[in-house]
Amino acid sequence: MSTPQQLAVVADFLNTLDLRSYVRHGRRHHGGDALITPGDLTRWLVEHHLINHRSRAHLNDLELGQELREALRVAMRLRAGDGVPGPDLFEVNGALERLPLRVACDSDGTPGLVPEADGVPGALALVAAAAVRAQWSGSWARLKECAAEDCRWVFYDSSRNGGGRWCSMEACGNRDKIRTYRARQAA
Count residues binding Zn ion (CB under 5 A): 6
The DSSP element (H or E) to which 17 belongs, if any, is strand 17-18
Q: CA-to-CA distance for 39 and 108, rounded, in angstroms?
A: 39
For Zn ion, the binding residue among 146, 157, 164, 176 (CB under 5 A) is 146
Report in angstroms how near the CB of residue 148 gets to Zn ion at its nearest: 5
Q: Please tell me whether residue 167 binds Zn ion under the rule CB under 5 A.
A: yes
Report in angstroms how near the CB of residue 85 gets to Zn ion at its nearest: 22
Q: CA-to-CA distance for 125 and 97, rounded, in angstroms?
A: 10
Going by their DSSP bridges, the two strands 17-18 and 32-33 should be labelled as antiparallel
Closest CA to 174 of 24, 21, 26, 15: 24
Q: Please tell me whether residue 153 binds Zn ion under the rule CB under 5 A.
A: yes
The stretch among 7-15, 79-87, 135-143, 149-157 that binds Zn ion (CB under 5 A) is 149-157
> Which residue, 100 or 162, is less far from Zn ion as judged by CB?
162
For Zn ion, the binding residue among 113, 151, 164, 176 (CB under 5 A) is 151
Q: At what angle do helices 38-47 and 119-137 cross, to 10 degrees?
A: 60
Judged by the rule CB under 5 A, the positions of this chain that interact with Zn ion are: 146, 148, 151, 153, 167, 172
